Structure 1
Amino acid sequence: MAKPGQKHEKHSAQARPGLAAKRASKREVALDQAARLFNERGIASTGIADVAAAMQVTRAALYYYFDERDDLVFQTYERACQIAAGDLEAADEDGGNGLQKTLAFARRALTPERTPVAVLSEVEHLKPAQRQIIARAAARNTRALRGFIERGVEDGSIRPCDAEAMAQTITGFVSWIQITPTWLNSQETEQRARDSVQVLELLRRGVGAPGVQVPPVHVDVNELRTHYDNLFDRDAAAAAKIETLLATASRLFGRRGIDGVSLDDITAELGATKGALYHYFEDKTDLVRGCYERAFDLYDAITARAEKLGQTGLEQTVIGVHLNTQAQAGSLSPLAPLAGLRGLPDDLRDSLNARATRISKRYEAMGRRGVKDGTLNIDDIQAAARSGAGLFAWIPKWRRENDALSARALGDEVVRLYVRGLAA
């Protein structure tokens, strides 16, 4: 709906093309800033006033382009889908085989000089009609990328693989690279460039040294699950209820985004009342804290299991990747690192930053061991450790409980990508 004076302004802009171009440019700048802030702070912690402040303009100046915050979110997400569609179209026009098209898309999407693009982690926050538009656009992009991979399998440039899983994993890498600086306190420009190079090398040839085989993984992540045997014990019963509540909330947050899930959604999923939830958690922020602390306890346990069981650097990292994939694809549902970390309370944000950094350092050590023992071929070990979560962090966004590919089978697919890449 036109705002007062807007219709006259648009008519004037038609007579003055320079003014129209300037306004289009200002909208693009606003969407760039919104994407950056949504990725860093989340939707709930970012409004039109925050974008205006980042641009050093008045909030009123942005109401020419956006009716409200929901409209800003929608336009930012829509633009992210349009950018991905443009990258796919350009990759297709480049010609070549399926592998070349796939890598051409990834290279464009991971361009370090590009302004950060919004990660589509809070689509459920949108109004139903807007949500449907974004979901359809994202699905079209995934189908196009899957088509490149299927073409590569047919023309022999890509090894046999599950094309859907590989397309979603590439999307996961692209998304994770957007938010890695926030989670690991890294320098955005320099380290994003290094991470992008490492991801492209992984997608092409993997990290396994020439001639190594993909080691089988027989460990089940459910071995790390806490069991509460004596439910007649009051403390054990309470702990079991908290675990069920956190697992359910984590699964919903992971799938729909923290801002896309209400406490009513969680209690409805559990078949419980809000009173039962408030018995254990003060509010939604306290619940999110519990979900992240539970997740990082599991990530620490997975890392320790990988360090203990792996006989080589390759085996250690493969076990870590496989168990993390199983966890995200199965019922454990640890809350994956999402957009919006800087919107959390300072103490929680600092704690998660520190824990994520420590885990990344432990995978760096595994990588150095693998290079030394000749099982890994990694040029930038630090970048490989930083970008590794992209292999599995996006899984909750696309995989459903009734998926034909089991959690362990998906783990095998992701590990093959990690070790061998896509190239046939």
Structure 2
Amino acid sequence: MTLADVAARLDLVPTGVVYYFKNKEDLAAACFLDGIGRFKELAAIGETGESVRERLKLFLDAYFDYRRRMLLGEADAIATFNDVRGLNHAPVNAAFVDMFRKIRSLLAGPETHGLSWPSLGARAHLLISEVLWAVVWLHRYDPDDFARVSHRVHSIMADGLLAPDSAWNPVALPSLIAESQETEASKELFLRAATQLINEQGYLGASVEKISARLNVTKGAFYHHHETKDELVVACFERTFDVMRRAIRQAEAASGDGFQTLATVATALVEYQMTGNAPLLRASALSSAPEALRPQLVAKFDRISDRFASLISDGVADGSLRPIDVNIAAQMLTAMINAAAELQNWAQGVTPHTAAALYVRPFFEGLLSRQA
């Protein structure tokens, strides 16, 4: 987004926009603040419910109905929040925190009484992440079906995937990636540094200078391993896909049924994501990556989600998972793993070792589960 593009869309000269916003950062901040305000309005609808289950349903129904009206031109668009990290605007950050607290309050009630603050924060982060991720896959459905989609998302959010007779039993996996034995400025170290910066600051914020500085090497060392930044980003995504595929293969070999396979994959990837040393690249980087790179990367993300859908189908077939919409559940599982990179920011006290109990398990057992 540039001020010139905005002016052209409004049939104005660029100075016509500058009259209201002195730079594009101010305009972006205003768009984010507007979107946050709309989410708070949706949360206010949820607050009218008498129970956590009802508040959750009202909030999700309001959100998916708003997305329906957006597509029909009956409501203003909401900016996606992927680039909030790169903007790093103090009033926007404060407003986002306030939005988080408002949505977290929807989950506080008799059904969740006794849960610790880290546990409640982890569940709130999961709920918000699922809602924000929905824009990735909602295009697959007709607007007239959004109410049906909301019903299915609510079912998974409230009651999870686990069949009544199944027990929480993921198994530990071997290391998902071997420690690099190369030199300090090795290709693996560049991939890790670039992934960390993109996750923290977005694609645009992760410059060649910042990547090189994080490794304390020269820009020349960077270009020794990668001709361009785009080439490096593709390599980061490929590394992420390799780790996820490795986790799936290892889990299938070690597990006894569909649920155990899925819970093992999710637990291993969330713990891996939260360690921070060699994280997975967040899918939100796709929105700011060059357009020429997106189709091939989106297709590979879709293949991972389709693989998750296959595992969920196995669990439904063997009775370890309850009957659910496997395609929506697969997208929600992807969102849960993707959002783990920021879990510690929103649920202080959650560690890689406690994330399985406080974050992954509620996804499978439902946000109304009393497990703390």
Q: Flag whether TM exceeds 0.5 (same fold).
A: yes
The one-letter code matched in structure 2 to 1:225 is: I
Asked if residue 369 in structure 1 is aligned to residue 324 in structure 2, the reply is: no
- The 3 A distance-change label for structure 1 pair 339 and 328 is same
Q: Which moved more, 1:272-281 or 1:391-400?
A: 391-400
Find out whether 1:72 has 2:27 as its counterpart.
Answer: yes
Query: What whole-Å deviation, never above 9, does each CA across 1:102-154 have from its counterpart, x for those lacking one?
Result: 4433443344415353232222432x6xx1001100111112223333x32xx
Q: Name the CA distance, whole Å, in 2 between partners of 1:65 and 1:189.
A: 34
Q: Identify the residue that residue 266 of structure 1 maps to in structure 2.
A: 211
Match of 1:212 in 2: 166
TM-aligned CA deviation for residue 99 of structure 1? 4.2
1:259-288 superposed Cα distances (whole Å, 9 cap, x missing partner): 233333323322222222222122322222
Find the aligned partners of 1:309 and 1:145 in 2 and give their Cα distance: 38
When residues 156 and 124 of structure 1 are mapped into structure 2, their CA distance, relative to the original with a 3 A threshold, is closer
Q: Distance in 1 between matches of 2:145 and 2:295?
A: 20
Distance in 2, Cα, partners of 1:303 & 1:59 = 52
Question: What's the offset of the Cα at 1:217?
Answer: 3.2
Aligned equivalent of 2:130: 173
Q: Is the 8 A contact 2:49 2:58 kept in 1?
A: no
* Cα deviation digits, residues 333-389 of structure 1 (max 9, x gap): 11021154474252x323212222222222222111111111111331122113321
Residue equivalent to 2:37: 82
Q: Residue 303 and residue 253 in structure 1: after superposition, are their counterparts in 2 closer, same or farther (change >3 A)?
A: same
Q: TM-score, normalised by structure 1?
A: 0.75
For residues 60-109 of structure 1, the C-alpha deviation after alignment (integer angstroms, 9 at most, x for no partner) is 387265444323311221111111121222322x1413443344334433
Aligned residues: CA RMSD: 3.0
Q: 1:98 touches 1:158 (CA, 8 Å); kept in 2?
A: no
CA contact (8 A) 1:224 1:301 kept: yes
Residue 320 (structure 1) shift: 1.9
Is the CA contact 2:122–2:343 (under 8 Å) kept in the aligned structure 1?
no
Please name the residue that 2:362 is paired with. 417
Question: Offset at 1:289?
Answer: 1.7
2:221 maps to which of 258, 272, 276: 276
Does residue 101 of the first structure (1) align with residue 101 of the second (2)?
no
Aligned partner (choices 175, 181, 192) of residue 247 of structure 1: 192
The letter of the residue matching 2:82 is S
Counterpart-to-counterpart distance in 1, 2:44 and 2:351:
32
Residue 319 of structure 1 and its aligned partner are, at CA, apart by 1.5
| Counterpart in the other structure of 1:390 | 335
SS for the counterpart of 2:279 is: coil
Which of these residues, 106, 112, 116, is aligned with residue 148 of structure 1?
106
Secondary structure of 1:224 counterpart: coil
Q: CA 1:305 to 1:109, structure 2 compared with 1: closer, same or farther past 3 Å?
A: farther
Q: Which residue of 2 aligns with 1:200?
A: 154
Does the residue aligned with 1:294 lie in a helix, a strand or coil?
helix
The whole-number CA distance in structure 2 between the counterparts of 1:369 and 1:159 is 34
Q: SS at the partner of 1:407?
A: coil
Counterpart check, 1:344 vs 2:344: no
Contact 1:177 1:192 in 2 (8 A): no
Unaligned runs of 5+ in 2: 71-76
The answer to whether structure 1 residue 379 and structure 2 residue 332 are counterparts is no
Query: Which residue of structure 2 aligns with residue 39 of structure 1?
Result: none
The aligned residue for residue 260 of structure 2 is 315
Could you say which residue in structure 2 is the equivalent of 1:324? 269
Moved more, 188-197 or 260-269: 188-197
Percent of aligned pairs with the same residue?
24
The 2-side partners of 1:114 and 1:144 are apart by 23
Task: Give yes or no for the alignment of 1:296 onto 2:213.
Answer: no
Q: Distance in 2 between matches of 1:403 and 1:270?
A: 28
Does the 8 A contact of 1:195 with 1:387 survive in 2?
A: no
In 2: Cα distance, 1:125 partner to 1:172 partner:
18
Aligned-residue offset at 1:204: 0.6
Q: Distance in 2 between matches of 1:158 and 1:368?
A: 33
Cα pair distance change 1:109/1:364, threshold 3 Å: same
Q: Which runs of 5+ in 1 are unaligned?
A: 1-45, 230-235
- The higher radius of gyration belongs to 1
Q: What is the Cα deviation at residue 208 of structure 1?
A: 1.0
Q: Does 1:117 align with 2:71?
A: no
Going from structure 1 to structure 2, the CA distance change for 1:312 and 1:300 (only over 3 Å counts) comes to same
Alignment check: 8 A CA contact 1:81 1:138 kept: yes
1:360 paired to 2:315: no
CA distance in 2 between counterparts of 1:262 and 1:342 reads 13
Provide the rounded CA distance (Å) in 1 between the counterparts of 2:62 and 2:114. 22
Distance in structure 2 (CA, Å) of the matches to 1:295 and 1:284 = 17
C-alpha contact (below 8 Å) 2:305/2:334 kept by paired residues: no
More displaced 10-residue stretch of structure 1: 322-331 or 61-70: 61-70
The 3-state SS of whatever aligns with 1:177 is helix
- Alignment partner of 1:275: what SS? helix
Q: Does 2:132 correspond to 1:132? A: no
Cα distance in 2 for partners of 1:398, 1:324 equals 13
Question: In the alignment, is the contact (CA less than 8 A) between 1:314 and 1:375 conserved in 2?
Answer: yes
Q: Give the distance between the partners of 1:172 and 1:374, measured in 2 at CA.
A: 28
Aligned to 1:228: 180
Amino acid at match of 1:418: F
Match of 1:108, SS?
Answer: helix
Aligned amino acid, residue 355 of structure 1:
K
Deviation at 1:158, TM superposition (A): 5.9
User: In structure 2, what is the Cα distance between the partners aligned to 1:423 and 1:158?
Assistant: 10
